[in-house]
Structure 1
Amino acid sequence: REIERDALRARLRSHTGSRAELAAQLGISERSLYRKLRSLDRPD
């Protein structure tokens, strides 16, 4: 989970397009991306 979080943060920092494009690049739905982004804000 921590590795996934770090990887997602790295992609967010380097990505300049829309979140829809980012989700497509990651091979996940936009909804899944938003869930993952929300989980970044929550402490474990």
Structure 2
Amino acid sequence: MQSILKHGRSLAVGVDLSKFFDRVNHDLLMTHLGHKVQDKRMLGLIGR
């Protein structure tokens, strides 16, 4: 974020996703990603 501000941007947003994956429906997420991501190896890594 500091780099963004140094390059003249007037707004930077920080997001903490640490709790997101504890609460998200993993089956729904993987189903949605399966429609977007064609690489089965990548899906396997994400699923872990």
TM-score tier, shorter chain, comes to 0.3 to 0.5
Write 1 or 2 for the structure with the bigger share of helix.
1
TM-score of the superposition, structure 2-length normalised? 0.38
Greater Cα radius of gyration, structure 1 or 2: 2
